[in-house]
Chain A
Amino acid sequence: MTSGGQVARKSLSLQKAWFLTKGRLRSLGIVIGLIIMILFLALKSEAFLKPANLLNILRQSSVVGIMAVGMTFVLIVGGFDLSVGSAMGLAGGLAVGLLPKIGLGPSLLVALLMGIVAGMVNGLLVVKLNVNAFVATLGIMNILRGILLMYSGGKTMFSPDRSFALIGSGYLGPIPIPVVIFTVVTLCSAFILHRTRFGRYIYAVGGNEEASIFSGIDAGFYKAASFAIVGLLAALSGVVLASRLQSVAPMAGSGYELDAIAAAVIGGTSISGGQGSIWQTVAGVFVLGVINNGFNILNVNEYIQLVFKGAIVVAAVALDTYSKRKT
Chain B
Amino acid sequence: MVEGFTVNMDRPLLEIVQVSKYFPGVKALDKVGFSVQKGEIHGLAGENGAGKSTLIKILAGVYPKDSGQIFFHGTPVDFRKPFQALSQGISVIYQELNLVPQLDVISNIFLGREYYGFLRRLDNLKMLQEYETICDSVGFHFPPHRLVRDLSIAEQQMVEILKAISFNAELIIMDEPTSSLTERETGQLYKVIKKLKAQGKTIIFISHFIDELIELSDRITVLRDGRYVGTVDSRKTSKQEIIGMMVGREINDIFEYSERPRGEVFLSVKNLSKQGLFRDISFEVRKGEVLGLAGLVGAGRTEVAKAIFGLHHYDAGEITVGGKRLVPGKAGQAIKAGIGLLPEDRKRYGLVMGLSLAKNLTLANLRAVSPLGVIQAKKERDAALQMMKALSIKTPGLHQIVRYLSGGNQQKVVFGKWLLKDCELLILDEPTRGIDVGAKLEVYRLIDELARSGKAIILISCELPEILGLSDRILVMNQGRITAQFSRAEASQEKIMAAALSVV
Contact between A11 and B367, CB atoms less than 8 A apart: no
Within 8 A of A (CB), among B352-382: 352-355, 359, 363-364, 366-367, 370, 373-375, 381-382
Contact between B350 and A207, CB atoms less than 8 A apart: no
Q: Which of A15, A195, A207 contacts B355 (CB 8 A)?
A: A207
Per-residue contact bits, chain A 255-279, to B (CB 8 Å; 1 contact, 0 not): 0000000000000000000110000
Cβ of B348: which chain A residues have Cβ within 8 Å of it?
A: 208, 210-211
Contact between B363 and A204, CB atoms less than 8 A apart: yes
- Which of A53-61, A114-122, A214-222, A239-247 is near enough to bind chain B? A214-222
Q: B343 at interface (Cβ–Cβ under 8 A)? A: yes
A216, B337: Cα distance in complex, Å: 12
For B359, the closest partner residue in chain A by CB is A200
Q: B112 at interface (Cβ–Cβ under 8 A)? A: no
For A274, the closest partner residue in chain B by CB is B354
Cβ of B397: which chain A residues have Cβ within 8 Å of it?
A: 11, 14-15, 17-18
Q: A40 at interface (Cβ–Cβ under 8 A)? A: no
Q: Which of B343, B354, B370, B382 contacts A196 (CB 8 A)?
A: B370
Cβ of A216: which chain B residues have Cβ within 8 Å of it?
A: 331-332, 335-336, 364
For A201, the closest partner residue in chain B by CB is B366
Contact between A196 and B373, CB atoms less than 8 A apart: yes
Of the four ranges (under 10, 10 to 19, 20 to 34, 35 or more), the interface on chain B belongs to 35 or more
Contact between B331 and A208, CB atoms less than 8 A apart: no
Given contacts A11-B397, A213-B331, contact A197 B352 (CB under 8 A): no
A210, B353: Cα distance in complex, Å: 12
Cβ of A17: which chain B residues have Cβ within 8 Å of it?
A: 396-397
Q: B398 at interface (Cβ–Cβ under 8 A)? A: yes
For B345, the closest partner residue in chain A by CB is A210
Q: B32 at interface (Cβ–Cβ under 8 A)? A: no
A14, B358: Cα distance in complex, Å: 14
Contact between A200 and B350, CB atoms less than 8 A apart: no
Q: Which of A195, A213, A327 contacts B374 (CB 8 A)?
A: A195
A240, B245: Cα distance in complex, Å: 73
A218, B331: Cα distance in complex, Å: 9
A101, B331: Cα distance in complex, Å: 49
What are 13 A-B contacts defined by CB distance under 8 Å?
Answer: A4-B389, A7-B389, A8-B385, A11-B398, A17-B396, A196-B373, A207-B353, A208-B348, A211-B349, A211-B352, A213-B331, A214-B331, A218-B332
A324, B341: Cα distance in complex, Å: 30
A211, B364: Cα distance in complex, Å: 10
Per-residue contact bits, chain A 1-42, to B (CB 8 Å; 1 contact, 0 not): 000100110010011011000010000000000000000000
Q: A227 at interface (Cβ–Cβ under 8 A)? A: no
Q: B401 at interface (Cβ–Cβ under 8 A)? A: yes
Within 8 A of B (CB), among A180-211: 195-198, 200-201, 203-204, 207-208, 210-211
A266, B239: Cα distance in complex, Å: 59
Q: Which of A197, A200, A275 contacts B354 (CB 8 A)?
A: A275
Q: B417 at interface (Cβ–Cβ under 8 A)? A: yes
Q: B149 at interface (Cβ–Cβ under 8 A)? A: no
Contact between A207 and B354, CB atoms less than 8 A apart: yes
Q: B258 → chain A, closest Cβ, in Å?
A: 29
Q: Which of B375, B385, B396 contacts A197 (CB 8 A)?
A: B375
Q: A212 at interface (Cβ–Cβ under 8 A)? A: yes
Q: B311 at interface (Cβ–Cβ under 8 A)? A: yes
A15, B384: Cα distance in complex, Å: 14
Within 8 A of A (CB), among B417-451: 417
Q: Which of A7, A196, A207, A327 contacts B352 (CB 8 A)?
A: A207
A203, B367: Cα distance in complex, Å: 16
For A197, the closest partner residue in chain B by CB is B370
Contact between B341 and A214, CB atoms less than 8 A apart: yes
For A270, the closest partner residue in chain B by CB is B354
A215, B336: Cα distance in complex, Å: 11
For A1, the closest partner residue in chain B by CB is B386
Q: B494 → chain A, closest Cβ, in Å?
A: 35
Q: B313 at interface (Cβ–Cβ under 8 A)? A: no
Cβ of A15: which chain B residues have Cβ within 8 Å of it?
A: 397-399
Cβ of B366: which chain A residues have Cβ within 8 Å of it?
A: 197, 200-201
Cβ of A207: which chain B residues have Cβ within 8 Å of it?
A: 352-355
Q: B267 at interface (Cβ–Cβ under 8 A)? A: no
Q: B56 at interface (Cβ–Cβ under 8 A)? A: no
A212, B386: Cα distance in complex, Å: 22
Contact between B375 and A195, CB atoms less than 8 A apart: yes
Contact between A214 and B349, CB atoms less than 8 A apart: yes
Cβ of B382: which chain A residues have Cβ within 8 Å of it?
A: 4, 8
A7, B381: Cα distance in complex, Å: 11
Contact between A212 and B341, CB atoms less than 8 A apart: no
